[in-house]
């Protein structure tokens, strides 16, 4: 077996040597070595601010629903509802429609019917934070924060707006 291996190596050397001899270049290490390469810094572009809320666009309510201070959850104000309306118009309208009117991708929020929660303010905050991974009535899942990047204060404002929408529907 050792003789056959030697013969195979000899035949290979005779077949490959002329091919390599005709090729230009040095086969002692691959590509040319670069002694030093200067790094060019990458410029990072900051994410743009969300688009502004445009009152009256589509089926959106021109004014935020009015929250009765007597029925408002502790710590929830009309200012939060108004901020939540602006935030809602940036990401949430894609699935829930302008003004929470609903769409084929997400349920109506401007009514008293709730699918995944009881509809109290704290459960709305929790649902926005955690999302709806397995919806029962709609085709796609709601990612945490609705797919947006909201701060905890903004989440509470979004929840205040959705809560006020459900109360304004007559619930």
**Per-residue tokens: 145:** 């924060």
φ, ψ of residue 100 in degrees (nearest 5): 75, 25
Q: Is the pLDDT of residue 121 over 80?
A: yes
CA separation, residue 28 to residues 60, 83, 116, 118 (Å): 71, 68, 68, 74
Q: What pLDDT, on a 0 to 100 scale, did the predictor assign at position 66?
A: 85
Q: Single out the residue of 68, 58, 61 nearest to residue 170, CA to CA.
A: 68
**Torsion sign (Cα): 85, 86, 89, 92:** negative
Tell whether the model's pLDDT for residue 134 goes beyond 80.
yes
The pair of three-digit structure tokens given for residue 36, joined into one six-digit string: 């030093």
pLDDT score recorded for residue 54: 57
Using the structure block, give the residue that is written with the tokens 């009309």: 78
The pLDDT tens digits of the residues spanning 23-80 come to 655 555 566 766 777 777 778 777 777 666 555 444 444 578 888 888 888 999 999 9
- Calculate the average pLDDT of the chain: 80
Q: Check residue 161 and give its pLDDT.
A: 93
Considering the entire predicted model, what is its pTM?
A: 0.63
Lowest-confidence region among 83-87, 123-127, 132-136: 132-136
- How many angstroms separate the CA atoms of 77 and 72, rounded? 7
Q: What angle do CA 104, 109, 112 make, to 5 degrees?
A: 125
Nearby residues of 96 by Cβ (< 8 Å), 6 or more positions away = 88, 102, 103, 106, 107, 108, 109
pLDDT at 124: 92
CA separation for the pair 120, 171 (Å, rounded): 12
Domains of the chain: 78-168 (1.10.760.10)
């Amino acid at each position: 077996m050792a003789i056959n291996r030697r013969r195979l190596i000899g035949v290979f050397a005779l077949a490959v040597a002329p091919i390599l001899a005709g090729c230009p270049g040095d086969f002692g290490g691959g590509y040319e070595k670069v002694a030093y390469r200067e790094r060019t810094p990458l410029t990072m572009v900051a994410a743009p601010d969300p688009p502004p809320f445009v009152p009256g666009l589509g089926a959106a309510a021109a004014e935020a629903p009015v929250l009765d201070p007597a029925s408002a959850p502790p710590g929830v104000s009309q200012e939060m509802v108004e901020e939540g309306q602006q935030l809602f118009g940036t990401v949430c309208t894609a699935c829930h429609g302008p003004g929470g009117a609903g769409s084929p991708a997400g349920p109506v929020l401007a009514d008293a019917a709730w699918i995944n929660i009881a509809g109290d303010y704290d459960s709305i905050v929790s649902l926005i934070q955690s999302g709806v991974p397995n919806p029962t009535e709609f085709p796609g899942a709601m990612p945490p924060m609705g797919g947006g990047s909201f701060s905890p204060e903004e989440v509470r404002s979004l929840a205040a707006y959705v809560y006020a929408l459900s109360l304004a529907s007559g619930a």
